[in-house]
Amino acid sequence: MKVNRDFTDVTVKLWLSAFQTSSVLMACTDQLLMEYGITSEQYDVLAGAKYLSDRVKISDLATFLRRSSNSVSMLVDRMVKAGLVRRLRDRGDRRVVYVILTSKGQNIVEQSSPGMWEFIKDMLSPLSYEDRRTFLSLFEMINRKALEHLNPGRDIEGIVRDRAERDAELMKRVPAYTLTASPQSKRQVAKRKKAS
């Protein structure tokens, strides 16, 4: 019974901590993006429209953000009004709508992205290389489980493979400033080199 109680305790604490971490990080990025006049959600759409591919559809953004097309469509509506993006219908297939950055949206995502990346590096700075790999593999386990939940009876291997391919494409488009290692990560890499 004691073991059961411990198991439940750590499970509730983990869920609570994951929930709180995600909320506190969003509060940080909202604060960070305030000077650019956008929210974290809007940043995700702008970054998606810039880095995902040359021509991003609402459905691509929905896949990237893992939200319904309908909810992304409403988000895009507000961003059109704010002059951040515009919609463009495909000439061949009028049902397909692309989301295009305006020059205002383009400027904002370019100006705010290096700060966002610095923030990410800062948040992860207490974690060693091994910690990051462990963290990543734990997320992947949950991610896979959630994909199974959302796609009952479907070929999860296929979905995971498709997603890995998309992510690999996305990784190629990761902008150059991400490659500048922070002093923290340099220190850790040096420490790791010394240790091995």
Q: Which of residues 66-95 bind a copy of itself (CB under 8 A)?
A: 66-68
Between 36 and 51, whose beta carbon lies closer to a copy of itself? Answer: 51
Give the binding-site size for a copy of itself (rule: CB under 8 A): 74
Q: Looking at the chain, how many residues does it have?
A: 196
Separation CA 176–CA 56 (nearest Å) = 21
Those residues with Cβ within 8 angstroms of residue 80's Cβ, 6 or more apart along the chain or in another chain: 86, 87
Q: Which is nearer to a copy of itself, 104 or 173 (CB)?
A: 173
Residue 33's Cβ-count burial label (10 Å; 0-12, 13-18, 19+) is buried
Closest alpha carbon to 48 in 18, 79, 21, 22: 79
Q: Which of residues 8-47 bind a copy of itself (CB under 8 A)?
A: 8-28, 30-31, 44
Give 90 or 122: the residue with its C-beta nearer to a copy of itself: 122
Q: Which of residues 175-194 bind a copy of itself (CB under 8 A)?
A: 178-179, 181, 185-186, 188-189, 192-193
Binding mask 98-117 for a copy of itself (x = CB under 8 A): --------------------
